[in-house]
Amino acid sequence: MQKKIISEYKAVTALYTLGWALGNPIFILFLLSKGFSLEAAGLFFAIAKLFHLILEIPSGAFADSFGRKKSTMLSFALSFCGFSLFIFSSNPIVLLASAIMLGSADAFFSGSMEAYSVDRLRQRGAAMHTHKLIASGARALYLMLLLGSILGGFIGTFSYELAIALGLPSLLYGIYYVNSLKSEKRESNFSDSLGNIFRNTTLSLRKCVSISPLFLLMLISFLTGLGAFRLFTGWPEAFSQLFGWGPLETGFVFAGISTMMIAGSKVSEIVYKRKYAFSFAILLMGLFLALSGVLWAPILTLVFVLLFEFSWGIHKPIMGKILHENVPSSLRATMVSLNTASFSAGFSLSGILFFLSGGMAISLSWEISGAFFLLAALIAFFKKL
């Protein structure tokens, strides 16, 4: 039975990821082609993350109260609407609405299907497969990124709009597929669920403060969010500067990034029980990111970015395992959302500061960003996470 649960989790993750993976290597290039500056394009993603942050905890409480399936289906619908607006308009107001929808979609998706699947495992006495579930879902995500990036990068050489639009059918089918999955016992009436949203949000915040590992995970997520913004939004432009690459080459680079994250998630299944595996993975991310900026040269920067993503693939499932070990079932989606909200807070703050600064050389911003990962690694190491 656990194989079926893991397969369904992987399928939902793959469908949602494919919805945006085709456009992933060209989003920044697409906005630049519409006449936006690099700072303004970065602000688009910062706004999306800001609304992700605003709705993250309420959306997790929504999932715990109304049902994780409903939350996941809503995320697919919002994502479909957001990308439709993104493709067919260059009006700043419409793009703002698109950013809000896409950020909200990620908020409702974050943790919902994961919590639904983890609870099903635990109900069947298969809690020991939690790390395998999360790592398998991560590999499905990275595989879709790999395939989507190659295809999207190729199609993007002819049309940015078409490359992004090809992900829309996956989002529509995702709504149907999630609806076909086994119903949850937690679903209740509307008035009870509204009360539960407030109750679960309050309880989750109290749990976060009272349970040391949870609070530390939120702090680490915030720091990695601060550090990740300039890499996640800047690498297409960085390789354009270093190599003169366009959408096709960028797509292949992202495929390489996805491959490294798949490998990292596989390694994570081997090392997750080892002492300091979590802190060591974060330490590697900080070192590789800083070195990619310090040693600003075509091949070296590419290699260190790929090694950063390999380390990212290791740390992500381990963080999920630590989180689920310290969270009760009734608050699982809310706590996962709270952890993601912490990352989004750091990511959004970094994006806003970058915009207000008027821009900064990518190499310098990567050097500074690496320091946030190093600080997070020190916290994880000394607190023995």
Tell me how far apart the alpha carbons of residues 337 and 340 are, in angstroms, rounded to a whole number.
Answer: 5
Distances in whole angstroms, Cα of residue 312 to Cα of each of 4, 70, 221, 336: 27, 30, 12, 18
Distances in whole angstroms, Cα of residue 318 to Cα of each of 98, 166, 277: 32, 33, 8
Contact by Cβ (8 Å): 76, 174: yes
The per-residue pLDDT for 59 is: 76
Q: Is 328 helix (H, G, I), strand (E, B) or coil?
A: coil
Indicate the DSSP class of residue 128. Answer: G
328: left (phi over 0), alpha (psi -120 to 50) or beta: beta
Q: What is the CATH number of the domain that holds 126?
A: 1.20.1250.20
Give pLDDT tens digits along the chain (385 positions): 677 888 888 999 999 999 888 887 788 778 888 778 777 777 887 788 788 778 877 777 777 777 888 889 999 999 999 999 988 877 888 888 999 999 899 888 876 888 788 888 877 777 677 777 877 887 888 788 888 878 888 888 888 889 889 999 999 999 999 988 877 665 554 445 555 666 666 666 666 555 667 788 889 999 999 988 888 777 777 877 777 777 777 778 878 888 898 889 888 888 877 878 889 999 999 999 999 888 777 788 888 989 999 999 898 888 888 887 777 766 676 777 778 778 888 888 888 887 777 667 788 888 888 999 999 999 988 877 7
Percent of the chain with pLDDT over 70: 90
Two tokens at 133? 């579930």
Two tokens at 171? 């989002």
* String of DSSP letters for 192-237: HHHHHHHHHHHHHHHHHHHSHHHHHHHHHHHHHHHHHHHHHHHHHH
Residue 307's domain spans which residues? Answer: 2-382
Other residues' Cβ atoms within 10 Å of the Cβ of residue 207: 18
pLDDT digits (tens, 9 = 90+) for 14-39: 999 998 888 877 887 788 887 787 77
Tell me how far apart the alpha carbons of residues 200 and 197 are, in angstroms, rounded to a whole number.
Answer: 5
Two tokens at 37? 């500056």
pLDDT digits (tens, 9 = 90+) for 152-186: 888 888 888 898 899 999 999 999 999 888 776 65
Two tokens at 60? 């997790």
Distances in whole angstroms, Cα of residue 96 to Cα of each of 25, 85, 320: 20, 10, 31
Tell me how far apart the alpha carbons of residues 31 and 36 are, in angstroms, rounded to a whole number.
Answer: 6
∠ CA(275), CA(257), CA(312), 5° rounding? 20
Tell me how far apart the alpha carbons of residues 287 and 378 are, in angstroms, rounded to a whole number.
Answer: 13
The dihedral built from the CA positions of residue 40, 42, 48 and 51, taken in this order, carries a sign that is negative
Total count of domains within the chain: 1
Other residues' Cβ atoms within 10 Å of the Cβ of residue 135: 26
Distances in whole angstroms, Cα of residue 152 to Cα of each of 99, 147, 165, 231, 333: 20, 8, 10, 20, 32
Give buried/exposed letters for 307-326 (b at 16+ CB in 10 A, else e).
Answer: bbbbbbbbbbbbbbbbbbee
